[in-house]
Structure 1
């Protein structure tokens, strides 16, 4: 997975977890070069972008401040 491919997959998240498929997508995106998100998502962004951001912050990949 390249960084470009991982960033392209960000638009595939829907409004729900799609019977668990969203978690698979999240893990697939995380296999690419991290971090995919380099800035905190907007407050109205998809919950999955917020999850990716929080996981990158918790993993020490980005500064959450």
Structure 2
């Protein structure tokens, strides 16, 4: 797994709308630093990083990065408390 993906995943779920503008911008920059396409393994790891809301659109960017993985992506458990909607988005898009 590439270092940019490891860094993003290590920082955990995306913050919610109450986070500071600096924190949201930092996470968006981290996501932008990940070159596409991602591997299926990286996509599965990134899928654990959804937070409770769309984080001012950053969550949709995360969906699009995950979707660049070629072929089937491994089954993903729900991303975490309150993030079940994002797991459903991914399952729907992955045909799962």
Task: Describe the shift of the 1:45–1:35 C-alpha distance in structure 2 as closer, same or farther (beyond 3 A).
Answer: farther
2:90 matches 1:52: yes
C-alpha distance in 2 between matches for 1:46 and 1:37: 17
Deviation at 1:37, TM superposition (A): 4.9
Aligned length: 56
CA contact (8 A) 2:54 2:60 kept: yes
> Which consecutive residues of structure 1, in runs of 5 or more, have no partner in the other structure?
none
> Which consecutive residues of structure 2, in runs of 5 or more, have no partner in the other structure?
1-37
TM-score under structure 1 normalisation?
A: 0.69
1:23 corresponds to: 60
TM-score under structure 2 normalisation?
A: 0.49
RMSD value over aligned CA atoms? 2.4
Structure 1: 4+ residue segments shifted above 4 A? none
